[in-house]
Amino acid sequence: MTEKERIRKKILGIRKKIGKKTADANSIEILKKLFRMKEFCQAKKVMFYSSFGNEVNTEKMIKKSLELKKQVFLPKILRGKIIPVQIENLKDLVRGRFGIPEPRNMNYELRTMNSLDVIIVPVVAFDKNCNRIGFGKGYFDRFLKTQKAIKIGIAYNFQIVKKIPVSKKDVPTDLVITEKNIFKRRK
């Protein structure tokens, strides 16, 4: 087992055990921090991920962004790649690959793929320099490599580890928001 796999297994085990009440309360604190950030407030095109299990819940973030008239995109996996698809409503989602909600339709334009302002990135574990571990499939790393947008990871404070082993294919986030802190990447 690699160091990344060991970290992923440990953190996912902890995350699986947190209660819904704690997860919801922490998700609300993360939402408050995100919606106060200048980078997010100024963003017009925002991409979220669809949360599942005990991940930081993005549903209220998506709803609030739609209410604020932001253009909201969610990932759809197509031929092994993430395609950002704009949604108008959470009813636009269906269970996709891996059981994760994704956009039903394919209303996307290739020109939007590089014009996102902010991308909210799922995180399994991270370090204080915003290096992250995801689920290990590499979808987000491959996608993020092509994006100029501000990349913001959202996670619970217990998901922080001392150091994430990094390879050339890994893409760090610019920021990570937890219920307690905001970490900024040192360049």
Prediction pTM value: 0.92
How much is the pLDDT for 111? 46
List pLDDT tens digits, range 7-33: 999 999 999 999 999 999 999 999 999
How much is the pLDDT for 95? 82
List pLDDT tens digits, range 47-89: 999 998 889 999 999 999 999 999 999 988 888 888 898 898 8
**C-alpha to C-alpha distance for 174 and 21, rounded to whole angstroms:** 29
Q: How buried is 148 (Cβ within 10 angstroms: 0-12 exposed, 13-18 middle, 19+ buried)?
A: exposed
- Whether residue 114 is predicted with pLDDT greater than 80 in this model: the reply is no
Q: Average pLDDT for residues 100-120, to the nearest whole number?
A: 74
pLDDT: which is higher, 92 or 57:
57
**C-alpha to C-alpha distance for 87 and 90, rounded to whole angstroms:** 7
- Whether residue 123 is predicted with pLDDT greater than 70 in this model: the reply is yes
CB–CB of 128/57 below 8 Å? Answer: no
The DSSP code for 62 is H
How much is the pLDDT for 68? 97
- Whether residue 45 is predicted with pLDDT greater than 80 in this model: the reply is yes
Q: 41: pLDDT confidence band, cut at 50, 70 and 90?
A: very high
The tokens of 25 are what?
A: 């309360």
**C-alpha to C-alpha distance for 121 and 70, rounded to whole angstroms:** 17
Q: 187: pLDDT confidence band, cut at 50, 70 and 90?
A: confident
pLDDT: which is higher, 21 or 111:
21
- DSSP codes of every residue in 29-87: HHHHHHHH-HHHHT-SEEE-----TTSPP-HHHHHHHHHTT-EEEEEEEETTEEEEEEE
**C-alpha to C-alpha distance for 108 and 171, rounded to whole angstroms:** 24
User: What region does 69 belong to: left with phi over 0, alpha with psi -120 to 50, or beta?
Assistant: left
Q: Which domains does the chain have, with CATH numbers?
A: 3-165+176-184 (3.40.50.10420)
List pLDDT tens digits, range 128-160: 999 999 987 788 999 999 999 999 999 999 999
The tokens of 138 are what?
A: 């590499």
